[in-house]
């Protein structure tokens, strides 16, 4: 049988694939015990609170064990796979330990005597704490104890030779004799009048009798805790289990990206004071520009859509109103103004909503911005967005129009100052040059943190974004 040597086995632990993440769920294993792996080979896919990530193994060797099945959430730093660097055959289970030989009966006086079930009583009598009360012969007490043991199925122990009881020690009295403390009727009445429990009084009289002085002494002492009664407390009524119709209801555990999103949105909604403003605009000229850009050779192979020009319009509006690009430092009670724009784009994925961002989007040309947007969306849909891509955002765009929704009141991404919701672009009647004509119309909604952005600043950002989309030539004149 081949076994692993400790020196040749390496345990690969769950790494921190994000910034301070504490756990990840194992989505899929790509290897099984016995498979050969090489340094850099992807062995599993895990989902953190931010994205799905593939984990490469840093060793060459043979997989010896997968410590967790798929679907298990594992803490960062916990070993998830064992690799034998020396190779070899898979590890076999250790054989069961041989049964211990039956213990030979010991002679009398050498300890406990083995019996059929467990062990009998010791050959020598057990010492017990002496209690005051009427003396009971030792032999009678021993017989009572032996009888009780026999009643519970234990084999009788060898009879011990009779030994005279010491004069100073007394055997335990029967329970009925110990239940009632020894005291004369006048002493009992005194205890009752003073509210003293005789069971808590230390007797000083002959043969354990409680005296009047003992009762008065008990009054002067702190009250002893109530003795535990043998009567069991009433069992609490169990709370009925919540049931539901399994045929018509499905319960989905909240974890991973969806759990993190829920926690972040609750924290944002109840931390940052939200204000949302709306504007409905004619974007017919922007839609024409989109069609023209699709035919431009400079944009060939790039993703060109209304979101591209909306993103560019928001970036120009931020350049004209830089104070909107900030964050709130609660610990230091400071406003942190950002001189860069990491533009977040909310993306719906099978695992939930994520918001990766384009780093330094303010410096990107239109073709560069189109390329970044295309890669961002593709990566998000494939579930390959890295945690780093979702860190450090400053403002966000969420395009609810792709679902046919006119607009909404978006919740800020935690740590950001503003989020722009873009509604569906629809052909609607619109007054254009004094006449009602069918025009491409949409509604924008801008939510912002009122600690950072007051109504005037928020209105200017939204109005500038709208103005650019109504007249896209402002991308040139305002740039």
CA 65 to chain centre: 26
Known catalytic membership, residue 432: no
Q: Where are the beta strands (DSSP E) in 89-227?
A: none
Contact 355/393 with Cβ under 8 angstroms? yes
Cα–Cα distance for residue pair 423/408, rounded to 1 Å: 8
**Buried b / exposed e along 343-355 (16+ C-beta atoms within 10 A):** bbbbbebebeebb
Tokens at residue 420, please? 């722009």
Burial of residue 80, with CB atoms counted within 10 A of its CB: 0-12 exposed, 13-18 middle, 19 or more buried = buried
Tokens at residue 59, please? 């060793």
Question: Phi and psi (nearest 5°) for 245?
Answer: -80, 100
Give, as one character, the DSSP assignment of residue 325. S
With residue 292 as reference, give the H or E element that holds it. helix 284-294
Rg of the chain over all Cα atoms, to the nearest angstrom: 40
| Phi-psi region at 192: left, alpha or beta (left = phi > 0; alpha = psi -120 to 50) | alpha
CA distances for 382 relative to 58, 93, 377, angstroms: 25, 40, 9
Strand-strand pairing, 357-358 and 334-337: unpaired
Tokens at residue 141, please? 């007490």
Number of helices and strands in the chain (H, E):
10, 19
Cα–Cα distance for residue pair 337/327, rounded to 1 Å: 7
Question: Phi and psi (nearest 5°) for 367?
Answer: -60, -40
CA 390 to chain centre: 20
Strand-strand pairing, 343-345 and 79-84: unpaired
Cα–Cα distance for residue pair 131/135, rounded to 1 Å: 10
User: Which residues are annotated as catalytic?
Assistant: 450
């Amino acid at each position: 049988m081949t076994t692993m040597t400790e020196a040749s086995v390496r345990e690969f632990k769950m790494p921190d694939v994000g910034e301070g993440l504490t756990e990840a769920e194992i989505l899929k294993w790509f290897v099984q015990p016995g498979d050969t792996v090489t340094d850099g080979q992807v062995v599993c896919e895990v989902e953190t609170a931010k994205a799905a990530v593939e984990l490469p193994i840093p060793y060459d060797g043979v997989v010896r064990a997968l410590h967790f099945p798929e679907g298990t959430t594992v803490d960062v730093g916990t070993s998830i796979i064992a690799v034998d660097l020396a190779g070899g055959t898979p590890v076999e289970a250790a054989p069961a330990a041989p049964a211990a030989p039956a213990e030979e009966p010991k002679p009398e006086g050498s300890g406990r005597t083995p019996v059929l079930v467990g062990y009998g009583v010791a050959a020598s009598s057990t010492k017990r704490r002496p209690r005051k009360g009427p003396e009971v012969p030792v032999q009678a007490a021993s017989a009572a104890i032996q009888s009780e043991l026999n009643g519970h199925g234990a084999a009788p122990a060898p009879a011990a030779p009779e030994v005279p009881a010491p004069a100073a020690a007394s055997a335990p009295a029967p329970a009925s004799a110990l239940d009632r403390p020894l005291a004369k009727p006048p002493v009992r009445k005194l205890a009752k009048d003073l509210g003293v429990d005789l069971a808590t009084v230390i007797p000083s009289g002959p043969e354990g009798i409680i005296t009047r002085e003992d009762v008065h002494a008990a009054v002067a002492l702190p009250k002893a805790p109530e003795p535990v009664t043998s009567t069991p407390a009433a069992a609490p009524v169990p709370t009925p289990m919540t049931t539901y119709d399994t045929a018509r209801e499905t319960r989905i555990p909240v974890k991973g990206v969806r759990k993190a999103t829920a926690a972040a949105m609750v924290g944002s909604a109840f931390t940052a004071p939200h204000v949302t403003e709306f504007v409905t605009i004619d974007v017919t000229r922007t839609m024409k520009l989109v069609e023209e850009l699709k035919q431009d050779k400079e944009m060939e192979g790039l993703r060109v859509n209304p979101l591209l020009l909306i993103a560019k319009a928001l970036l120009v509006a931020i350049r004209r109103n830089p104070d909107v690009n900030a964050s709130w430092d609660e610990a230091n009670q400071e406003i942190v103004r950002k001189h860069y724009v990491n533009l977040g784009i909310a993306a719906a994925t099978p695992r939930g909503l994520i918001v990766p961002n384009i780093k330094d989007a303010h410096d990107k040309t239109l073709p560069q911005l189109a390329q970044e947007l295309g890669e961002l969306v593709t990566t998000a849909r494939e579930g390959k967005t890295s945690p780093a891509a979702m860190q450090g955002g400053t403002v966000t765009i969420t395009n609810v129009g792709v679902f046919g929704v006119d607009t909404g009141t978006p919740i800020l991404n935690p740590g950001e100052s503003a989020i722009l919701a873009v509604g569906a672009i629809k052909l609607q009647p619109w007054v254009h040059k004094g006449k009602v004509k069918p025009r491409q119309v949409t509604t924008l909604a801008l939510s912002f943190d009122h600690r950072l952005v007051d109504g005037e600043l928020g209105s200017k950002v939204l109005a500038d974004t709208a103005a650019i989309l109504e007249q896209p030539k402002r991308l040139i004149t305002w740039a």
